[in-house]
Amino acid sequence: MVRIACLHTAESNIAVFDHALRMIGLTGVELRHEVRAELLAAAEREGQLTPEIAARTAAELRDLSVNTDVVLLTCSTLGPAAEAAAVEALIPVMRVDAALATAAVRSGGKVVALCAVRTTVEPTRLLFESAARATGAEVDVRLVPGAWESFKAGNRDVYLAMIARTAMTAAQEGATRVALAQASMAGACNLIDPDIRPLNSPEAGLIAAARAAAA
C-alpha cells in the first residue's frame, strides 16, 4: 500500500483528490488529508508567498512525512515551499503542479495555464517556464477574472463554469495544451468536450506521487 499525505488549503479539495484517484484507476494507494486553509489566506493577505508563510508550510509538510511514503502539497500558491521541505525530507515531498507542468509542456507548442487565485499566477509562471525550457514550449499563464470570488462565496458551479469557458476559449484560440493550474479547478474538466479536455493537477500529481513512492 502506497501512502500519500496531501496538504490542502481548501476542505473541498479532499473530495477532489479522492475523485481523481478513482478517475485514474490507481490501486494500492491510500490518501491521507490535512487542511491548512490559514496558509493560503495569509498569502492572499500579503499578496504573495512570503518567507514566513513558506517556512510555516514547509514545517507542516515535514510533520506530514511521518508514517507515509510521499507528501503532496496541493496548493499552487504555496508550491515553492515543497521544494524547500524536500531538501531535508527522507521521503519525496512534491508540489502537485510540478507534474502538471511537465505533462503540459511535453509536446512543445503553446501551453495555456489557467489560475483562479492572483497569488498563484507568479509561482505557476515560474514553474511552467522552467519546465518549458526542456521542450521549447511557449507558456501563457492566465488569471480567470472573478472566478476565485465565486469559489469563496460557495458558488462552486459558477466557478467551474467560468474555468471551463476560459479553457475552451484557449483551446479554440489554438493552444496546444490547456492546464488547470489549481487543484480546485479539476471539476471543470467534466464540462469540456473530451477532445479538448485540459490537464488537471490532482490527476497528474497523484500519478507522479505514486511513481515516486515506487522508485
What's the CATH code of the domain at 130?
Answer: 3.40.50.1860
List, for residues 30-72, the tens digit of each pLDDT value.
Answer: 999 999 999 999 999 999 999 999 999 999 999 999 999 999 9
Domain hosting residue 48, numbered range: 2-96+203-214
Number of domains comprising the chain: 2
List, for residues 154-167, the tens digit of each pLDDT value.
Answer: 999 999 999 999 99
Structure-block grid coordinates of residue 69: 511514503
Q: How far apart are CA 199 and CA 70, in angstroms?
A: 22
Q: Please indicate, yes or no, whether residues 183 and 210 belong to a single structural domain of this protein.
A: no
Q: Please indicate, yes or no, whether residues 105 and 196 belong to a single structural domain of this protein.
A: yes
pLDDT on residue 105:
97
Q: For residue 139, what is the enclosing H or E element?
A: strand 138-143
Q: Determine the length of the chain.
A: 215
Whether 122 shows a pLDDT value over 90: the answer reads: yes
Q: Please indicate, yes or no, whether residues 152 and 162 belong to a single structural domain of this protein.
A: yes
Q: Please indicate, yes or no, whether residues 133 and 92 belong to a single structural domain of this protein.
A: no
What percentage of the chain exceeds 90 in pLDDT? 95
pLDDT on residue 214:
84
Structure-block grid coordinates of residue 20: 481523481
Q: Please indicate, yes or no, whether residues 30 and 80 belong to a single structural domain of this protein.
A: yes
Global confidence as pTM: 0.93
Q: In which band, very low, low, confident or very high, does the pLDDT at 215 lie, cut at 50, 70 and 90?
A: confident
Whether 26 shows a pLDDT value over 90: the answer reads: no
